[in-house]
């Protein structure tokens, strides 16, 4: 690793820890030239390139940036922690790479975002659903609001209840 301070290419690893549920390795390093310490992170690079099939039939490479932008637009200035938004993106990315080998419909991605936004914040959900479902009239939006109000809430994963203790 190249030292960010003196740019020497000679260091030693002082400490290694697994983070992000084992998906990332955090390494503390010390430069042998200037003795300063710095941190590096290792992540597994996804070998397969997942393609997204858009509504018009075109195919584009999967990008978490597009999901992040959609969630950010839907959340706007709502009091939603960035950590929650980031978690949604990471969960969806993991699911898609596990379930789909080469191609996935943008509709599937949008549905997964909507499911999570619905549980997180109803206003962000409606904002996202308006675009994703192409709700073009007030009647369409009102019908979705009525369905949102009448549907039972999502059942929380029981494992999440014990993680916070």
Structural domain total, the chain? 2
Whole-structure pTM value: 0.61
Do 4 and 40 touch, CB atoms closer than 8 A?
no
39 with 58, same domain?
no
Whether 64 and 135 share a structural domain? yes
What gap in Å lies between CA 64 and CA 50, rounded to an integer? 11
Rg of the chain over CA atoms, in angstroms? 21
d(CA 62, CA 46): 11
Is there a single domain that holds both residue 90 and residue 15? no
Same domain, 32 and 77: no
Same domain, yes or no, for 82 and 39? no
Query: DSSP labels for 86-109?
Result: HHHHHHHHHHHHHH-SSEEEHHHH
**CA-CA distance, 135 to 126, in Å (whole number)?**
10
Q: Which residues lie across from 116 on neighbouring strands? A: none
Over residues 10-59, the pLDDT tens digits come to 999 999 999 877 878 999 999 999 999 999 999 876 555 899 999 999 99
Per residue in 89-140, pLDDT tens? 999 999 999 999 899 999 999 999 999 999 999 999 999 999 888 888 999 8
Range of the domain at 17: 11-43
């Amino acid at each position: 690793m190249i030292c960010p301070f003196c740019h020497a290419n000679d260091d030693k690893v002082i400490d290694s820890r697994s983070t992000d549920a084992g998906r990332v390795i955090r390494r503390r390093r010390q430069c042998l030239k200037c003795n300063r310490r710095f941190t590096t992170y290792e992540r597994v690079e996804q070998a397969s390139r997942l393609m997204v099939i858009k509504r018009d039939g075109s195919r584009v490479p999967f990008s978490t940036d597009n999901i992040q932008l959609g969630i950010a637009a839907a959340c706007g200035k709502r009091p939603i922690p960035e950590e929650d938004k980031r978690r949604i993106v990471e969960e969806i990315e993991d699911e898609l790479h596990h379930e789909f080998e080469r191609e996935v419909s943008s509709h599937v991605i949008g549905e997964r975002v909507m499911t999570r936004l619905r549980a997180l914040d109803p206003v962000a959900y409606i904002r996202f659903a308006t675009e994703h479902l192409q709700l073009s009239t007030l009647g369409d939006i009102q019908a979705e609001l009525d369905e949102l109000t009448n549907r039972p809430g999502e059942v929380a994963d029981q494992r999440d209840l014990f993680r916070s203790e």
